[in-house]
A = this chain, B = another copy of it.
Amino acid sequence: MSTPSSKPSASFQAPTGTRDFYPIELARLRYIQDAWRRTSINHGFEEIDGPTFEHLDLYTVKSGEGIVSELFSFERFGGEKKYALRPEFTPTLARMYASKANSLPKPTKWFWMQNCYRAERPQRGRLREFCQWNCDIIGDDSMLRADTELLGCCIGLLEACGLTAGDVVVRISDREVIEQYLMICGVEFPQLSEGLRLLDARAKMSSEDFRRAASSIRLNVAQFDTQAAEHARKSVGGELLFSELERMGYSDWVTWDPAITRGLAYYTGMVFEVHEASGAERAIAGGGRYDGLIEMFGGPPTPAVGFGMGDVVLSLVLQDKGLMPSDDQIADKLGLRPDAVVISNGTDAAEELVVPTLAALRRAGMHARRSYKTTKNIGKLIQDAVKQRARYVVIIESPEAATVKNLDTQAEEKGVPVAEVGGRIRK
Contact = CB atoms under 8 A, between A and B. Distances in A.
Interface in A58-79: 58, 60-74, 76-78
Interface in A28-75: 29-30, 38, 41-44, 46-55, 57-58, 60-74
Contacts of A375: none
Specify the main secondary structure of chain A where it touches its partner. Answer: mixed
B50 A15 contact: no
A410 interface: no
Interface residues of A, number: 116
A368 interface: yes
Contacts of A4: 61-64, 265-266, 296
Interface string A8-36: 11111111001111110011011000000
Contact of A356 (B21, B92, B249): B249
A119 B69 contact: no
Nearest to A336: B41
A8 B295 contact: yes
How many copies of this protein are present in the complex? 2
Interface string A120-153: 0000000001000000000010000100100010
B12 A58 contact: yes
A367 B44 CA distance: 7
A359 B49 contact: no
A67 to B, nearest CB: 7
Interface string A368-407: 1110100000000000000000000000000000000000
Contacts of A106: 372
A12 B148 contact: no
B2 A372 contact: no
Contacts of A60: 5
A50 B365 contact: no
Contacts of A289: none
Contacts of A115: 52
A95 interface: yes
A244 to B, nearest CB: 7
Interface of A: 1-5, 7-15, 18-23, 26-27, 29-30, 38, 41-44, 46-55, 57-58, 60-74, 76-78, 81, 83, 85, 92, 95-96, 98-100, 105-107, 110, 115, 117, 119, 129, 140, 145, 148, 152, 156, 159-160, 193-194, 196-197, 244, 247-250, 263, 265-266, 295-298, 335-336, 338, 352, 355-356, 359-360, 362-363, 365-370, 372
10 contacts: A12-B61, A12-B99, A12-B297, A13-B55, A18-B52, A43-B368, A44-B338, A53-B72, A244-B355, A248-B355
Nearest 10 Cβ contacts at the A-B interface:
A10-B298, A74-B74, A2-B64, A18-B51, A2-B66, A23-B46, A248-B359, A21-B49, A44-B369, A12-B95
